[in-house]
Amino acid sequence: MIEKLKIIVCIKQVPGIMEIKINPETNTLIREGIENIINPFDTYAIEEGVSLKEKLTASEGGSLDVEVIALSMGPPHSEAILREAISLGIDNAILLSDRAFAGSDTWATSYTLSKAIKKIEGWKIIILGKQTLDGDTGQVGPELAQILNIPFIGYASKITEISSNKMIIKRLMEDRYETFEIRLPAAISVGKDINIPRVPSLRGKMKSKSIVIPVWGIDQIDMDEKECGLNGSYTQVIKIFSPEHKYEVKMVHGTPDEQVNEIYSKLKELSII
Amino acid sequence: MRYLLTDEQKMIIEICKKIVDERIIPVRAEYDEKMIFPADIIKEIGRSDLFRLFIPEKYGGMGTGIFEVCLATEELSRGDLSVATTYAASGLGFIPIILMGSEEQKEKYLPVLASGEKLAAFGLTESDAGSDVGAIRTTAVKDGDFYILNGTKQWITNGGEADIYTIFAKTAPDKGARGVSAFIVEKGTDGFEFGKKEDKLGIRASATRELVFNDCKIPKENMISREGSGFITVMKTFDESRPAVGAQAVGVAQAALEEALNYSKIRSQFGAPISSFQAIQHMLADMATSVEAARSLVYYTAQVIDSGAKDVSRLSAMSKLFASDMAMKVTIDAVQILGGYGFMKDYPVEKMMRDAKITQIYEGTNQIQRNIIALDLIKKGFI
């Protein structure tokens, strides 16, 4: 009896820049001339998904058929990152795209992703990058797990054991290591410490060129317009602005001892020390 | 910008470029200094399907040709010649199996070599037999269903790291070159040991070792083709592999040229970037022209070989000869353009100059290449 096990990796396309620039007139992100990329933490999620498949196939290959699916919610050009994921070893990909999804906050995004995931039979593990370059909230992972009613471990550093019904996960917190044993189905988020993402393979690149990536809209995942996009969001971005930098400069003179004394007094005065 | 390539060929270069930029460049100086074998990088190269470029589809390969092998080799050489040598030398080690091996041998060995799981090595050279292949002294004596190997091979690339070795030994010592046969010997076979790792001028991260055979007993099924066909196997293998050495030379020369070009634009003397001096401009122009010329010859040769042409020895020798002599000159000129900085180990060009030298020596010295070309010219002229 061959059991099927699906691993879902949720990825997002983001603007590929280090410094976000805001247009002061419209208060929106300046996207012109900026290349779109896979959210950096998602590349670690992709590697972990492919790596887990390899481990499971090695240990339980006779009785287990593992498939890794990449899922992305975004505008039509997000298809590019799904193809890139295929070149890195992902088996199949699905694009969630519909005008109705526009304006989603993290809750609406998580809810929409959960509706899509419910359409996929046999999923046991969901992997996400711990946060996005543009949103930075890190909320989608835990919200998704909450909606699906499954355990969630964020910031996983290492999956030390994996089988078809449980995982043992280690993570590094600020002051300690924590080890969890969780039963599947479950979701995790990952950062840079979990693995080293591989380089695409030639066969992967060729597959990514020819593979058909289905696009699921509001109808395919049984959603109502009220539940998604701006309508389905509990929060709304009212304003984005670049804070004005105001500097007050005071030069300190004298011998090193005199300078230290003056700085020390000032810091004490400002209750910084 | 590379012109006239198919999408698949461009993908090969993209993958190699990623490996060069993300994996090779950050560690190449350290690996060179400490003679560290690039095991992780080779594993990544295997995982990216690059060893499959050499091998027919039937045995797990991509069914591509020497052209694609040269594309990968050139790009990897841009990063580090040691890595490219490790990659190309594995190919050299198993090309004899592809060209002359039996169906059983191909099915047994090629799939694991295609996946990069195992590496191969080519064991021909001995202390008294470099250019003079007929002078090898390693013997293979038939004993029932086995051959007993005795002798020592010198300076074998991937020695100690490879699992599968193609070894050339005399089955008929009194017959000179015609008495040589080829055998597949696996690491771990009783009587097969390795010498120390050699300390080299260049390609220092590539593992070069002695192979020592002491009453090493191997099954007769491990002989490639018939007794006495070893010399032909060597020649046919080199005909295919020489353009790849040419590609190595083109890659390292290209890397050195880019370093020199970038430096010349940043470095100022007498109030101007040195790229504005005609002396430097002429050097750069000559370097770039010769790299492009060598590249053309290498890839033309690869296309001719892949088209199935029978008579490729002359062209193959030319591609190796011209590209390697070019690479030596270009890397030396690159050091010259970087001046004092080029002489320092902090900058990558001195290593490229040291690495380039081997391309004029291995897989047939450039003197042997000239012999091959001249004799072929005299015998066949131009048809």
Answer yes or no: do A202 and B18 touch at CB < 8 A.
Answer: no
Answer yes or no: do B48 and A202 touch at CB < 8 A.
Answer: yes
Asked if B12 is an interface residue toward chain A (Cβ–Cβ < 8 A), one would say: yes
Distance from CA of B30 to the nearest CA of A (A): 20
**Residue A253 near residue A259, CB atoms below 8 Å:** yes
Q: What is the mean pLDDT of chain A?
A: 91
Asked if B282 is an interface residue toward chain A (Cβ–Cβ < 8 A), one would say: no
Q: What is the pLDDT of residue A20?
A: 64
At B207, the pLDDT band (50, 70, 90 cuts) reads very high
Q: Could you say which DSSP state residue B56 is in? A: -
Cα gap A181→A82, rounded to integer Å: 31
Q: What is the phi/psi pair of residue B131, to 5°?
A: -65, -35
At A78, the pLDDT band (50, 70, 90 cuts) reads very high
Is residue A98 predicted with pLDDT exceeding 70?
yes
Question: Does residue B273 have a cis bond before it (omega within 30 degrees)?
Answer: no
Answer yes or no: do A203 and B22 touch at CB < 8 A.
Answer: no
Is residue A170 predicted with pLDDT exceeding 80?
yes
Phi/psi class of residue B158: alpha, beta or left (left: φ > 0; alpha: ψ in -120 to 50)?
Answer: left
Answer yes or no: do A199 and B52 touch at CB < 8 A.
Answer: no
Question: Which residues lie below 8 Å from residue B312, measured CB to CB, with a gap of 6+?
Answer: B239, B301, B304, B305
Answer yes or no: do B49 and A202 touch at CB < 8 A.
Answer: yes
Domains delineated in chain B: 7-118 (1.10.540.10), 121-227 (2.40.110.10), 231-380 (1.20.140.10)
Q: What is the CATH number of the domain that holds A18?
A: 3.40.50.620
Question: Which residues lie below 8 Å from residue B55, measured CB to CB, with a gap of 6+?
Answer: B61, B62, B94, B98, B110, B113, B114
Q: What is the pLDDT of residue B26?
A: 97
How many CB atoms are located within 10 Å of the residue B215 CB? 11
Q: Read off the pLDDT of residues A174-183 as tens digits, 9 standing for 90 and up.
A: 899 999 999 9
**Residue B36 near residue B212, CB atoms below 8 Å:** no
Structural domain tally of chain A?
A: 1
* Predicted TM-score (pTM) of this structure: 0.90
Q: Read off the pLDDT of residues B155-197 as tens digits, 9 standing for 90 and up.
A: 999 999 999 999 999 999 999 999 999 999 999 999 999 999 9
Length of chain A: 273
Find the catalytic residue in B68, B74, B161, B363: B363
At A96, the pLDDT band (50, 70, 90 cuts) reads very high
**B72 compared with A62, residue with greater pLDDT:** B72
Q: Confirm whether A57 is domain-assigned.
A: yes
Cα gap A269→B210, rounded to integer Å: 74
Is residue A61 predicted with pLDDT exceeding 80?
no
**Residue B170 near residue B204, CB atoms below 8 Å:** no
The residue of B49, B54, B64, B75 whose CB has the most chain A CBs within 10 angstroms, and thus the best one to mutate to test that interface, is: B49
**Residue B8 near residue A206, CB atoms below 8 Å:** yes
At A26, the pLDDT band (50, 70, 90 cuts) reads low
Indicate the SS3 state at residue A68: strand
Q: How many CB pairs under 8 A join A and B?
A: 39
Q: Confirm whether A273 is domain-assigned.
A: no
Question: Which residues lie below 8 Å from residue B234, measured CB to CB, with a gap of 6+?
Answer: B124, B133, B168, B180, B182
**Residue B298 near residue B70, CB atoms below 8 Å:** yes
Per cent of chain A over pLDDT 90 is 74
Q: What is the pLDDT of residue A239?
A: 77
Answer yes or no: do A205 and B22 touch at CB < 8 A.
Answer: no
Q: Confirm whether A237 is domain-assigned.
A: no
Is residue A242 predicted with pLDDT exceeding 90?
no
**Annotated catalytic residue B44:** no
Q: Which residues of B touch A210 (CB under 8 A)?
A: none
Distance from CA of B95 to the nearest CA of A (A): 21
List the single residue in A198, A199, A206 with the smallest CB-CB distance to B8: A206
Per cent of chain A over pLDDT 70 is 95
The residue whose two tokens read 């018939």 is B226
At A62, the pLDDT band (50, 70, 90 cuts) reads confident
Which range is most confident: A60-64, B3-7, B313-317?
Answer: B313-317
pLDDT (average), residues A29-45: 85
The residue of B8, B9, B10, B11 whose CB has the most chain A CBs within 10 angstroms, and thus the best one to mutate to test that interface, is: B11
Answer yes or no: do B47 and A200 touch at CB < 8 A.
Answer: no
pLDDT (average), residues B231-247: 97
Distance from CA of A53 to the nearest CA of B (A): 15
Q: Which residues of B touch A198 (CB under 8 A)?
A: 44, 47-48
Asked if A209 is an interface residue toward chain B (Cβ–Cβ < 8 A), one would say: yes
Q: Which residues share a beta bridge with B165?
A: B121, B185
Cα gap B71→B380, rounded to integer Å: 31
Q: What is the pLDDT of residue A273?
A: 81
The residue whose two tokens read 């976000």 is A20
Q: In angstroms, how far is the first alpha carbon of chain A from the final one?
A: 68
At A86, the pLDDT band (50, 70, 90 cuts) reads very high
Q: What is the pLDDT of residue B23?
A: 97
Length of chain B: 383
Q: What is the phi/psi pair of residue B292, to 5°?
A: -65, -40
Q: What is the pLDDT of residue A141?
A: 95
Cα gap A66→A78, rounded to integer Å: 25
- The per-residue DSSP string of A134-164 comes to TT----HHHHHHHHHT--EEEEE-EEEEE-S
Amino acid at B354: R
Chain A residue nearest residue B20, CA to CA: A199
Distance from CA of A206 to the nearest CA of B (A): 7
Helix ranges restricted to H, chain B: 7-19, 28-34, 39-47, 66-79, 81-100, 103-114, 230-266, 278-306, 313-343, 349-356, 366-380
Chain B 21-60, residues with CB within 8 Å of chain A CB atoms: 22-23, 44, 47-50, 52-53
Q: Which residues of A touch B8 (CB under 8 A)?
A: 202, 206
Q: What is the pLDDT of residue A31?
A: 63
Q: Read off the pLDDT of residues A246-269 as tens digits, 9 standing for 90 and up.
A: 888 888 999 999 999 999 999 999
Written as six digits, the tokens of B1 are: 């910008």
Asked if A55 is an interface residue toward chain B (Cβ–Cβ < 8 A), one would say: no
Cα gap B317→B323, rounded to integer Å: 10
Distance of CA B45 to CAs B10, B15, B72, B176, Å?
16, 9, 10, 39
Cα gap A137→A75, rounded to integer Å: 20
Q: Which residues share a beta bridge with B180?
A: B170
pLDDT (average), residues B221-225: 98
Structural domain for A204, as ranges: 3-227
Distance from CA of A203 to the nearest CA of B (A): 7
Torsion sign (Cα): A127, A131, A132, A137: positive
Q: Confirm whether A44 is domain-assigned.
A: yes
At A28, the pLDDT band (50, 70, 90 cuts) reads low
User: With 0-12 CB in 10 A as exposed, 13-18 as middle and 19+ as buried, what is B137?
Assistant: middle
Question: Which residues lie below 8 Å from residue B59, measured CB to CB, with a gap of 6+?
Answer: B106, B107, B110, B111, B114
**Residue B32 near residue B351, CB atoms below 8 Å:** yes
List the single range of B2-6, B54-58, B368-372 with lowest mean pLDDT. Answer: B2-6
List the single range of A149-163, A227-241, B112-126, B309-323 with lowest mean pLDDT. Answer: A227-241
Asked if A54 is an interface residue toward chain B (Cβ–Cβ < 8 A), one would say: no
Is residue A27 predicted with pLDDT exceeding 70?
no
How many CB atoms are located within 10 Å of the residue A115 CB? 19
Cα gap A251→B382, rounded to integer Å: 83
Is residue B154 predicted with pLDDT exceeding 90?
yes
pLDDT (average), residues A222-244: 86
Asked if A58 is an interface residue toward chain B (Cβ–Cβ < 8 A), one would say: no
Cα gap A145→A125, rounded to integer Å: 11
Q: What is the pLDDT of residue B383?
A: 75
Q: Which residues share a beta bridge with B268?
A: B273
Chain A 172-201, residues with CB within 8 Å of chain B CB atoms: 198-201
Q: Which residues of B touch A201 (CB under 8 A)?
A: 15, 47-49
pLDDT (average), residues B26-33: 98
Per cent of chain B over pLDDT 90 is 99
Helix ranges restricted to H, A7-139: 40-60, 79-87, 106-118
Q: Confirm whether A37 is domain-assigned.
A: yes
